[in-house]
Amino acid sequence: MAARVDTPGLRAVSLGRSSRIWFALLGILMVWGLGAWIYQLTQGLIATGMRDVVSWGLYIFSFAFFVGLSAGGLIMASGAEVFGVKSLRPLAPIGVLTAAACVLVAAMTIIPDLGNPQRVWEIFRYPNWSSPLVWDVIIIVVYFAFAVTDLVVMHRRSMEKTKRLRTLRILAYVGLPTAVLLHSITAWIFGLQISRPWWNTALMAPLFVTSAILSGTALIALVALVAQRFDRFELPRETWTTLAGLMATALAVDLFLVGSDYVTILWGNVPRERAALDLILPGGSWQWLFWLEWLVGGLVPFVLLVTPRFKIRPGLLALSSVLVMVGVYAFRIELVVGGMIKPLLQLPPGNATGSYRFGQTSFQFQGIYHPTWVEYGIVVALAAFLALLITIGYRWIRSFERAGAPA
Amino acid sequence: MAVETTTKRWGMVIDQNRCIGCWTCAVGCKEINNEPLGFWWNRILTASPGETTGESSSTVADPASDSIDVPHGTFPDVDMAYLPVACQHCEDAPCVKVCPVDATFRRDDGTVLVDYERCIGCRYCIAACPYGIRVFNWGDAEQPVDFTIGYGKDYRTDGRLVFTPDRPRGVVEKCTLCVERIDTGEQPFCVEVCPVGARVFGDLDDSESEVAQLVDDGGATQLLPDLGTKPRIFYLPVQQERSV
């Protein structure tokens, strides 16, 4: 086992010194993020880079990204049960674990984004049923409860085997529509808004479902690869090829949907719709998002995943998994910021900044967003918490398997 | 003191032929509503006549002028109009639809208001508003002076706090149509202070009222009408005969 500090993630599941370093690292990141959040609570959201024009930022990208990551559980569980893909069955416990952990962290990511986090309970007290946000909160709660139930049933030794398998099968069938709803409703937070042409497309829900399957599968592949390397977690070769195939397919469908949207906007050539796309296409000031999405997180992993020689090599599969996650995150950024940075009505001098510093104008003349250290700190801490949940959960699952409980 | 709010259907007409872009309504609004530094509920955009409003729609309108007081077009074919924009008090308001906790709500008389004690600060309404008129309290509000100006006290309607001079952190705010004034029979402050009488306020249901007549004449248009938000603020675009 390599004892190098630059690969701490790979030691997540090993015992002894290296896992202590891993937990210490996660602990430091979480304490740092908690500190950043406390600082933000004392200052208000002025501590972030968000202002009235781009009023959603890193927290919302990350929220949408974490929601997407949670898709993996459903795919592994329902892939085995509903679609009869037997090779995915060994991954079901890890899948359901990541689903529960990701959706929990996604829900937590919303809290620092709120101006009044202490009032969050009002969503349950005075729900406005026409708001997609209310439905999203409900589906997140349901999905989390569902994933935890699934995880418990999988590892309940007192339950008779045939009964457990039947329950798991039912859960897989219920889980499928629940997960599709989770990603669709999250997409509709954006997709239903007439005021943001960049968001207002019927493709949004299919896009979210696809990118969720893509990033969720990538996360599971990554966790399984780490486990294989450091915990003698063995998977049949067939499982790896299924994972690679699933990722390649989801990636192709994802880029197809994004591309369809581009073609529609380009051909129509409607100024208000072109505004956001022109920023992202090559030559625009945000073209780095295009390259991250289409090349770094698109073409490169796609080639790695479909070339027979490459797709069975664990190192390259891990690389592909990381790259597609980068691509999916880039999509989240271009979605949120692209939708907000070019409002329908002119900016100068149309939008107040919402804050004032001496010597500055009180209008925003162009949409600006630069996340601050507070935002980075909190989001990194949330990612660290996610890693911690998965590490602890994985050990819990393995402790059952070692004790002889079938998964 | 709530006075027959249910019997009215408040609306406003802004005559772009008259507007001289002096910002008196914006400054008056800022003052009466104790808007903190950096906040503007009401702004005067520089538009092209009949382009941002009127026959054009959000699907075809070019982005408006890039600067304040700068005409559109190339010399000598230049033109310019002013477009004061505050909350449009839409009948089908996207902000009301998206607010998860009903903090943004619409009264029976059509005024769209924000409950300062309910808002959780998710800013979904800012994302949903096509007119970009909402302002968020990112940090502690700073007032330009340390003595009370403007309305200067809390105002509640149906028990809900819809105006307070001491802005709580982390809530969204916007034009209230001067709810505290219209409830006592006064005009919104922007209407009262406009030096050229470009703004007309009244009950759209009262066919005798000037505002209803201007709207019924057919010349009045709304901002981004194709979005179907049905604003209660109407504009009389430049080059239109004013019939009153």
Q: In Å, how far are A272, A363, B85 from A349, measured between CA atoms?
A: 18, 6, 11
Q: Is the CB of residue A339 less than 8 Å away from at least one CB of chain B?
A: yes
pLDDT of A400 strictly over 70: yes
CB contact under 8 A, B130 and A344: yes
Instruction: Report angle CA A23, A26, A29 to the nearest 5 degrees.
Output: 150
- Domains, chain B, with CATH or none: 12-236 (3.30.70.20)
Q: Pick from A254, A339, A334: which is nearest to A55 by CA?
A: A339
Do B139 and B169 contact (CB within 8 A), yes or no? yes
Residue A13 pLDDT? 45
Tell whether the model's pLDDT for residue B52 goes beyond 60: no
DSSP letters spanning B71-100: -EEETTEEE-EEEEE-----TT-HHHHH-T
Torsion over CA: B191, B192, B195, B200 (sign): positive
The model's pLDDT over A82-103, given as tens digits with 9 standing for 90+, comes to: 888 888 888 989 999 999 999 9
Which residues of chain B are within 8 Å of residue A56 when distances are taken between CB atoms? 123, 127
For residue A379, give the amino acid letter: V
- Closest C-alpha among B112, B89, B86 to residue B26: B86
**Selected residues 125-144 of chain A with any CB under 8 Å from a CB in chain B:** 125-128, 130-134, 137
Q: Which residue has the tokens 């209407």?
A: B191
Residue A5 pLDDT exceeds 50: no
Per-residue pLDDT reduced to its tens digit, B94-134:
999 999 999 999 999 999 999 999 999 999 999 999 999 99
Q: Which residues of B touch A128 (CB under 8 A)?
A: 97, 99-102
Mean local confidence (pLDDT), A237-245? 90
To test the contact with chain B by mutation, choose from A109, A114, A116 the residue with the greatest count of B C-beta atoms within 10 A, namely A116
Chain-centre distance of CA A240, in angstroms?
A: 22
pLDDT at position A6 is: 42
Contacts of B43 (CB under 8 A, 6+ apart): A349, A350, A351, A352, A363, B26, B84, B85, B86, B133
| A16-344+367-402 fold | Formate dehydrogenase/DMSO reductase fold (1.20.1630)
- The pLDDT confidence band at residue B244, using thresholds 50, 70 and 90, is very low
- The mean per-residue pLDDT over the stretch A365-369 comes to 84
pLDDT band for position B242 (50/70/90)? Answer: very low
Q: For residue B213, what are the contacts with CB-CB under 8 A and spacing of at least 6?
A: B207, B243, B244
Is there a contact between B85 and A350 if contact means CB atoms under 8 Å apart?
A: yes
Selecting from B99, B224, B228 the residue whose C-beta is nearest the C-beta of A344 gives: B224
Tell me which residues of chain A, numbers 42 to 101, contact chain B at a CB-CB cutoff of 8 Å. Answer: 43-48, 50-53, 55-56
pTM: 0.91
ipTM of predicted assembly, 2 dp: 0.90
Q: Which of left, alpha, beta for A366 (phi over 0: left; psi -120 to 50: alpha)?
A: beta
The ranges assigned to domains in chain A are 16-344+367-402
Q: Taking CB atoms and an 8 Å limit, are A43 and B139 in contact across chains?
A: yes
- In angstroms, rounded to a whole number, what is the distance separating the alpha carbons of residues A353 and A46? 11
**Min distance B223 CA to chain A CA atoms (Å):** 10
**A335 interfacial to chain B (CB closer than 8 Å):** no
> Among A167-171, A389-393, B168-172, which stretch is predicted with the lowest mean pLDDT?
A167-171
Collect all residues of chain B within an 8 Å Cβ-Cβ radius of residue A275. 63
Identify from A274, A345, A357 which residue to disrupt to test chain B contact, counting B C-beta atoms within 10 A and taking the largest count: A345
For B133, name the nearest residue in chain A, comparing CA atoms only. A351
